[in-house]
């Protein structure tokens, strides 16, 4: 029995050039709620933006933000996994100094993105996403706990994966998109586990959708993992369930459940 549906956003529910959710997924979230099933956006984005994106159905959602670093339900923090300050600052300076002048750095607090900019496009992307942000010159300026450190690589992650991912394995370094590598002491799998514990749901009762390496921990943690057909071949070989459209798979689930008034 499925009691929660989790989904990545960029590359899964949203194309990378898309800003607004379609009516179909919003209707499906309402239909899931009628069956007592929670919907959980599972994203590297912050809560402010996720709440706005899902505003028409936010009452039916719980939110896994910053790749599992912060979990929210109705404006209440359910759990947070901060990084040790020294580690976060060390990673930020490594990204900044060792990306050949082609990387910009984002450090994430509970609900603010702190940007170390070079004018390469990261700020435009953050504005497009809609995050609350401010610019900094030094991570030491950040007045709160840091839950995630990311590098934005304007030329793409290809030349930098081997440079950064093995080096920061202790911080769950993972490719999070065509131009992003993320680090955090949490990950989406840890986040889903904490969310399930808070809501009294077993991980086997969760369906999840993802498309990239930072979704692996979530897909491994749940009972019904689905990978986007556009994912890397290595990931497609890892998971037997593929989908071209999460909405299609959710529709199938809803069809199997039938009308809520006919349950029991």
Q: What is the pLDDT of residue 15?
A: 85
Taking each helix axis from N to C terminus, what angle separates 246-257 and 23-34, rounded to the nearest 10 degrees?
30
pLDDT band at residue 224, thresholds of 50, 70 and 90? very high
Are 150 and 182 in contact by the 8 Å Cβ rule? The answer is yes
**Alpha carbons 43 and 205: distance in angstroms, whole number:** 20
What does pLDDT average to over the chain?
Answer: 94
φ, ψ of residue 24 in degrees (nearest 5): -60, -45
Residues of the chain above pLDDT 90, percent: 87
- Specify whether the CB–CB gap between 102 and 154 falls below 8 A: yes
pLDDT of residue 264: 44
The model's confidence at residue 39, banded by pLDDT at 50, 70 and 90, is very high
Q: What is the mean pLDDT of residues 157-170?
A: 96
In whole angstroms, what is the distance from residue 31 CA to residue 43 CA?
Answer: 22
The pLDDT of residue 261 is 60
């Amino acid at each position: 029995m499925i009691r929660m549906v989790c989904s990545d956003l960029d590359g899964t529910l949203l194309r990378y050039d898309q800003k607004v959710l379609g009516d179909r997924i919003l209707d499906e979230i309402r239909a899931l709620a009628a069956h007592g099933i929670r919907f959980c956006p599972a994203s590297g984005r912050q809560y402010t933006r996720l709440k706005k994106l899902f505003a028409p159905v936010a009452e039916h959602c719980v939110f896994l933000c910053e790749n599992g670093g912060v979990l929210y339900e109705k404006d209440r923090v359910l759990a947070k996994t901060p990084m040790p300050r020294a580690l976060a600052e060390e990673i930020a300076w490594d990204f900044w100094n060792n990306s050949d002048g082609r990387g910009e750095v984002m450090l994430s607090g509970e609900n603010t993105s702190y940007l170390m900019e070079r004018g390469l496009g990261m700020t435009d992307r953050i504005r497009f996403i809609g995050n609350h942000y401010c610019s900094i010159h030094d991570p030491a300026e950040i007045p709160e706990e840091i839950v995630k450190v990311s590098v934005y690589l304007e030329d793409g992650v290809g030349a930098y994966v081997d440079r950064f991912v093995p080096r920061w394995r202790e911080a769950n370094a993972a490719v999070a998109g065509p131009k992003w590598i993320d680090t955090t002491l949490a990950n989406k799998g840890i986040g889903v586990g904490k969310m399930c514990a808070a809501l009294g749901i077993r991980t086997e009762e969760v369906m999840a959708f993802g498309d990239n390496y930072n979704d692996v921990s979530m897909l491994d943690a749940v009972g019904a993992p689905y990978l986007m057909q556009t994912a890397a071949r290595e990931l497609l070989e890892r998971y037997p369930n593929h989908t071209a459209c999460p909405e299609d798979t959710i529709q199938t689930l809803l069809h199997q459940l039938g009308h809520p008034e006919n349950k029991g």
